[in-house]
Structure 1
């Protein structure tokens, strides 16, 4: 395919993502997928794409793309100071691009990750049913080996025959990425292994996202949470699991997490909270609040139904 987007500058970290690859965790293959799935799904929704369509995830900015096609593009997520041919372009809307147009992402004004979708989705090969880039497994991406996008990479996509009417998210529905972040936690089956004092420390204190955080996990720093004594067997871990290692500094497991873990776990955050977490840069502060399992399931069902997942 001769139409698509050429990468001029890859920036700090830019990858191709879709919904992820499922059914392979028993082989040590993590699902992957976008860090902020809500924003990624909205990018496709603004273009009437199916939820399975691939998008570009841009972390912390610095990415430049050149259009080699006529198409509608949608950009969602954080405001990374996007310009098109030098003209500012706000996120959470779709717009027309033509050959030679340059999309340049600066550094974040607010938020931390932006998502770029094109009409019909980027046409890239799947590995184990997905193009999701997972560096730790060396799977997915443009070349199938888990590498992030590089300068001069060409990402194919279909051309659009005619310009559509641009769409824009109403301001009242755009996520507030400025407010203090509260992560909702469903306590897990190991909750009783932690002392009442440990739980009090966890619920009543603020934690900071450290610079060691990445797509595998968000490492937090704050008052130490006393872990249970004794050794635990390694076991499968889920998205959002809150591990407490020996130093008492919690780690929240994310998209590219390992499939097994042996640290004790307080529980798991609501995935919707995790998507909000993905938009906070290092240095941001978070707090935790409990949520019942039934309430969490209700919220996730509503989200999944809305996007047809």
Structure 2
């Protein structure tokens, strides 16, 4: 008999079927869905993120979607705080929390906790940005090398953003970024029983599904969505979203040439998004394969979602059934 509340986590690469499976399991288990996708937190970024439809969200309660404007930053610390609060609330109402997504850092933050590093400091970040502009990245790297040689060598001189973040941690806390710190507790330490399900799909099928998904995005109005977003001062994370950065970069190059931009977006841009999404899926797959404790489910092409949900429910979630 289970004494700890179960938290179900469904992970895997983009387009692997996480959303459809989570909705089916939520129906069967009396669950509510908590997104673990770093792009779904942004309002107005709907088509390019393959956000669950309003119809799907009306059927099953979804959390972690449309939390902030795309002009704002949203850190893994903020996500963890939000997700844990939501998990407590869902459990208190006798429901099953189902965490769904492909953002590895978000999932790991829940399962293993986080080191108590300070959050972003606007003043210090602005100062470092100014120094970067005036003195160049090499000077910042040399500065980190003096403060914390180990962390500097781990990062390397070319990853400017991580160099700046390491300097920011030191300037805010006075602690070397490389020093180990006691992490905040993970789900198990907080009294929950996490069950992590990973979706494994045939690579060729997954890539074809990605291509089909990109085509659907264009038909639904991805370019109009990106045009609207291009008028905003997007946060760094929002700008880097796959499906957005490929088109936004081209929009800057063809500023004032709307017809040319749209032509290129519909041809080269479409292909770039497909390639970038396939590479992204491969990185997600590599990440999750290295994580411990994931129970992998092989989902063959053509097998209905209901059949996969039934297998997961009967074979992996016996105590909940």
Q: TM-score, normalised by structure 2?
A: 0.24
Larger Rg: 2
More relative contact order, 1 or 2 (CA 8 Å, 6+ apart): 2
Greater helix proportion: 2
